[in-house]
A and B are shown apart, each in its own frame.
Chain A
Amino acid sequence: MTPRLTRRDFIKVGAGTAVATGLGSAARKILLEPFVRPPEDVLPGQATWYASTCRQCAAGCGIIVRVINGRAKKIEGNPLHPLNRGKLCARGQAGLQVLYNPDRLRNAVRQTGGRGSRTFEPLYWDAALDLLTEKIGALSDPGRLAFLGGLMPDHLYRLASLFCDGLGAPPPVIFDLHSALEGRATADRLSKAFFGSDELPVYDLAHTEVVLSFGANFLETWMSPVAQSRNYGRLRQGPFGGRGLLVQIEPRLSATAASADEWIPVRPGTEAHVALALGRIIVEERLGHVGSHRSYAVLYQDVEVGDMAQASDVSVETLRRLARVFADADHAVAIPGGYLAGHRNGLAGMLAVQALNVLAAQVGREGGVFLSHPAPASALAQTARVDTFDRVGDLIARMRAGEVDVLMVHGANPIFELPAAAGFAEAVSHVPFVVSFNSFVDETAIQADLLLPDHSYLESWGYQVPAPGADRPVVSAQQPVVRPLYDTRATADVLLALASRLGGPAAAALPWVDEVAFLESSLGELVSSSLSAFPADTAGDFWAVWRRSGGWWSEKEIPREPEVTSVVETPLRVVEPTSEGDSGSYPFLLYPYPSVSLSDGRGANLPWLQETPDPMTTVSWGTWVELHPETARSLGVVDDDVVRVVSPFGSLEAPVVVYPGIRPDVVAIPIGQGHVDYGRFAERRGGNPLALVAPVTDPDSGAWAWAATRVRLEATGRRKALARLESLEGAGRESLR
């Protein structure tokens, strides 16, 4: 229950160190409590390292955790892991504060006194399970059970789907904002349509010469930032000869664009127009050394370069220059980024960008586009896939219509992540019984009747098939690095227990006694795999190796070449971007972007990440509004003046950051703050820009068009000093000498 209990058997080296005086031992009494039975893997005072997998975002980097006297002290990248090769990002480093967060939910509770009342009554797990079993057992029709997942580990997703299957309930709905912001759902569609594959493409940044990044902030939060950053380093100063060129095409100068050689401030939503124009130019002028122009000419038959330049606000000269650079390079790649997916022409746009790679024959070519590997075992094939906004919409509709009696939520926080206009909060009130498995009492968990906290990811088992993957098949291992601090329970075990209690088809679908048994059976196929970098003959050996090395992966790299489907024979469509709110009364387009440290807001309860300055504005602990100097001047505001940002759907007040790297017609606000419930470090801090966003979708992909809302600005006359790292007097001038 309390940490004391688990700590008892460990030698209290650190005890009482708070009072350090030169005085002798008799001055105060400090107890040294030796083990009753010494465990073989703990040497008091010496560090033990455990390999596991990072769960701070979907990427699935391998980590090793330094553990001393049963306490995790430091997280580092797993040097063996093919994905991140020992490297780790800020959010990964901060994982320890998830484990040791003072605001963690420490045991199963039920919320007596109504939802949001914060009056919690502790429950024994058995009682909690009985209650849940009873609720599910009482369902008139299993279809009235809904499972909403957020950033779920693959093994848990599989269990959850088996569970729902067994019951006959609809499969889990997966939504998390981070994935929406990186356009995962759309990227899945794109991959399917373009390469006929379920796996996401991998862009070989390390070996390329020219990178055209269309709104992909791949050095910050997009897809697999650590792996991409590592490859970016090699693009710049690698052993691979010359210095690569990176061109970033997006309306706001992101931290990624800051590292680019050229930033093209394109009109929002018309990134694809640039791509189309480039393709058209390459085909017209027969650029590059690829003889395939004729065969691809059809793609660009509807494209007129002048119009594209007009629409995208990029000069024809620039377009021609870029086209030549891209086509002439031996190795070049165009990346369709998450920002594209935020517009209502998302899929069409990403299609147009991907087409460039085909046109320049960079598909399956070193420095070009490859495909992630599928899970190397059939049992692992069922990996967590984020659903499009449409499916979330359906769920909300069903809830509102009272067709859902029991809602199970794991790791999702839609009440914070979805715009109020999406009406999730309202819909929840129509659901009689809500169960939350979140470790923290966040905006959604507070609406639950029963809270059954899962372990933190450093206390739990699991596996993860990284997507996008590495240069070889990888299954990343997750194992407890410390024994659970509190009376929490692995949601997998909860589901298994439920199944056995419910009996019938559910029990049949989930025959395993506990999570570990489930994992062992799922990983069975890998045991005798010949590819493995760590061969193991028996299941026991495999299990040991699996835990020691932090997963399973093939010894040598196996590039997976995609083949292009027939999509690439039909002309590419030019879809003009549309946005909510008329440009008359709402002159600016809102650009909400994921914070490098807080990502989509899940990091907001970690003091380290709150204190981490934003790379571009150097602001920490707050929300701000980025305005072009012109915009600020016309509005009569300067740095730290508070402005009100109003959209047809809501409004938000925050101090101004005058930002030289943004189009005058765009207003950018970082996502992550504005939590109502999420622990002492996150609550009542800053504002949440998603409150302003319209719940509209891209008709083609059904993905949420989160970047297609217009806003207007109002000066409030108030000031609030932001916590900046830089001095405003110094104003980021280059070193004086």
Chain B
Amino acid sequence: MKASNGRRGFALLWPGLSLVLVVLVVGAALLSRRVALAAPAQPIAFPHRLHANAGVPCLFCHPNAMRSPIAGLPSVQRCMGCHAYVERGNPEVKKIAQYWEEEKPIPWARVILEPDFVYFSHQPHLSAGLNCETCHGDVASMGTYQPVARMDMGWCLDCHLEQPQEDAARLTDCLTCHR
């Protein structure tokens, strides 16, 4: 009698604990993914789609990708270069014009954000023959940019490990990205 009670009390314990554990782990995993792939709100609802379809190349607005670690954002001047004449009625474009008149920079919200101990440079990746879509996804079909991959270390390594032997050694060295 007692003994059986004992067995039941015991029988309920471990399954319960393990269940809680599983829930926690899975929940954390899902949550972190959501957080990583969420994009912040932008001051201007910039439609990449329209610009790409209009035949504007990426490097026209993000010109530094070839020569600097930072691809860079278009200066207000660059925006106005076209929008002084094009689509002036558009409410979003009006916002740009306003920044331009106020001589204020557009406070874009950063979407892709690496921790400050990661040293990434666009230049070598582009000269290695990658194109923007490889990492940033099909931007040409997006409005404001939505990240397509959580750009963590594993994601980088997936690609670096596939390189030819002599390069892979160099590219998988910690000091390639961490200093």
Measuring CB to CB, which residues of chain A are less than 8 angstroms from any residue of chain B? 8-9, 11, 13, 17, 20-27, 29-38, 43-46
List which B56-80 residues lie within 8 A (CB) of chain A.
Answer: 64, 67-70, 72-78
A21 contacts across to B, CB distance below 8 A = 115
Stretch at the interface among B3-11, B83-91, B100-108, B166-174: B100-108
**With A22-B152, A26-B40 known to touch, is A45 a contact of B68 (CB < 8 Å)?**
yes
Most chain B C-beta atoms within 10 Å of own C-beta, residue among A32, A37, A43:
A32
Interface residue? B97 (CB, 8 A): no
Q: How far is the CA of A284 from the CA of B113 in the complex (A)?
A: 81
Q: How far is the CA of A34 from the CA of B38 in the complex (A)?
A: 23
B108:A34 contact, CB within 8 angstroms: yes
Q: How far is the CA of A555 from the CA of B38 in the complex (A)?
A: 61
A45 contacts across to B, CB distance below 8 A = 64, 68-70, 72
A34 and chain B: residue at smallest CB distance: B73
Can you add 9 more A-B contacts, CB < 8 Å, to A22-B115, A30-B110, A33-B106?
A11-B73, A31-B107, A32-B73, A34-B76, A35-B75, A36-B104, A37-B77, A43-B67, A45-B70
**With A11-B73, A46-B68 known to touch, is A32 a contact of B35 (CB < 8 Å)?**
no
Q: How far is the CA of A39 from the CA of B21 in the complex (A)?
A: 56
Q: How far is the CA of A45 from the CA of B64 in the complex (A)?
A: 9
**With A20-B115, A25-B111, A45-B70 known to touch, is A34 a contact of B39 (CB < 8 Å)?**
no
A20 contacts across to B, CB distance below 8 A = 115-117
B106 contacts across to A, CB distance below 8 A = 33-34
Chain B contact residue count (CB 8 A cutoff) = 37
B99 contacts across to A, CB distance below 8 A = 36
B103 contacts across to A, CB distance below 8 A = 36
A25:B113 contact, CB within 8 angstroms: yes
CB contact between A36 and one of B38, B40, B77, B116 (< 8 Å): that residue: B77
B70 contacts across to A, CB distance below 8 A = 11, 13, 44-45
A9 contacts across to B, CB distance below 8 A = 105
Most chain B C-beta atoms within 10 Å of own C-beta, residue among A9, A34, A38:
A34
CB contact between B100 and one of A13, A32, A36 (< 8 Å): that residue: A36
Q: How far is the CA of A23 from the CA of B72 in the complex (A)?
A: 22
Listed by A's residue number, 5 A-B pairs whose Cβ atoms lie within 8 Å are A9-B105, A24-B147, A26-B38, A34-B72, A44-B70
A37 and chain B: residue at smallest CB distance: B77
**With A43-B68, A45-B69, A46-B67 known to touch, is A33 a contact of B38 (CB < 8 Å)?**
no
Interface residue? B37 (CB, 8 A): yes
Q: How far is the CA of A32 from the CA of B37 in the complex (A)?
A: 19
A33:B64 contact, CB within 8 angstroms: no
Interface residue? B150 (CB, 8 A): yes
Interchain nearest-CB distance for A74 vs B (Å) = 15
A22 contacts across to B, CB distance below 8 A = 115, 152
Q: How far is the CA of A22 from the CA of B28 in the complex (A)?
A: 14
CB contact between A37 and one of B73, B75, B113 (< 8 Å): that residue: B75
A34:B69 contact, CB within 8 angstroms: no
Q: How far is the CA of A408 from the CA of B35 in the complex (A)?
A: 61
Q: How far is the CA of A9 from the CA of B107 in the complex (A)?
A: 11
**What does DSSP make chain B's interface, helix, strand, loop or mixed?**
loop
Measuring CB to CB, which residues of chain B are less than 8 angstroms from any residue of chain A? 35-40, 64, 67-70, 72-78, 99-100, 103-113, 115-117, 147, 150, 152
User: How many residue pairs bridge A and B at CB < 8 Å?
Assistant: 97
Q: How far is the CA of A21 from the CA of B36 in the complex (A)?
A: 12
A32:B108 contact, CB within 8 angstroms: yes
Interchain nearest-CB distance for B114 vs A (Å) = 9
Interchain nearest-CB distance for B163 vs A (Å) = 24
CB contact between B75 and one of A8, A17, A30, A36 (< 8 Å): that residue: A36
Sorted nearest first, the 7 A-B pairs with minimum C-beta distance are A24-B36, A45-B70, A26-B38, A33-B105, A17-B116, A20-B115, A34-B73
Interchain nearest-CB distance for A13 vs B (Å) = 6
B147 contacts across to A, CB distance below 8 A = 24-25
Q: How far is the CA of A22 from the CA of B152 in the complex (A)?
A: 8
B69 contacts across to A, CB distance below 8 A = 45-46
B109 contacts across to A, CB distance below 8 A = 25, 29-32
A8 contacts across to B, CB distance below 8 A = 105
Q: How far is the CA of A131 from the CA of B152 in the complex (A)?
A: 61
Interchain nearest-CB distance for B132 vs A (Å) = 17
B39:A26 contact, CB within 8 angstroms: yes
**With A30-B110, A35-B105, A45-B69 known to touch, is A24 a contact of B74 (CB < 8 Å)?**
no
Interchain nearest-CB distance for A43 vs B (Å) = 6
Q: How far is the CA of A245 from the CA of B158 in the complex (A)?
A: 61
**With A8-B105, A45-B64 known to touch, is A36 a contact of B76 (CB < 8 Å)?**
yes
A25 contacts across to B, CB distance below 8 A = 38-40, 109-113, 147
B40:A29 contact, CB within 8 angstroms: yes
Interchain nearest-CB distance for A23 vs B (Å) = 6
A26:B35 contact, CB within 8 angstroms: yes
B36:A36 contact, CB within 8 angstroms: no
Interchain nearest-CB distance for B25 vs A (Å) = 17
B115 and chain A: residue at smallest CB distance: A20
B115:A36 contact, CB within 8 angstroms: no
B100 contacts across to A, CB distance below 8 A = 36
Q: How far is the CA of A34 from the CA of B117 in the complex (A)?
A: 23
A13 contacts across to B, CB distance below 8 A = 70
A33 contacts across to B, CB distance below 8 A = 105-108
A34 contacts across to B, CB distance below 8 A = 72-76, 105-106, 108
A17 contacts across to B, CB distance below 8 A = 116
B112 contacts across to A, CB distance below 8 A = 25
CB contact between B72 and one of A11, A27, A29, A30 (< 8 Å): that residue: A11
